[in-house]
Amino acid sequence: MPHTAGWKARLHLFEDEGTTKARAVVDTGSTVLTGHGAAHRNPADLEMPEIGDELAVGRATEDLGRQPVDAAGRDIEGMGASGPVSRPVSGWLM
């Protein structure tokens, strides 16, 4: 049976005294998932906001990315089956 869905995603960035914070939000229509990430600049480093943005967003999306997989595992186990097997994100064993 075909299935189509549309989820809304938003990224929010905040800068505060050398720390960039990011919040990644996905709204499925029935659930809202939120991931958080931060990047801290060493005061001795050059001020390069885009690097802090990239790190904070990457960390927030990694945090967010695990949440649907965890939710699916709980749903699968709630049906009496074993949950999904974790696999390396990059395809290489860590």
User: CA-CA distance, 54 to 32, in Å (whole number)?
Assistant: 23
What domains, with CATH codes, occur in the chain?
Answer: 8-78 (3.30.160.240)
| Mean pLDDT of the chain, nearest integer | 87
H-run or E-run covering 25:
strand 19-27
Of the listed ranges 13-17, 27-31, 52-56, 82-86, the least confidently predicted one is 82-86
What is the tens place of the pLDDT at every residue in 74-90?
Answer: 888 888 877 565 655 55
Query: What residues pair up with 12 in beta bridges, in sequence order?
Result: 23
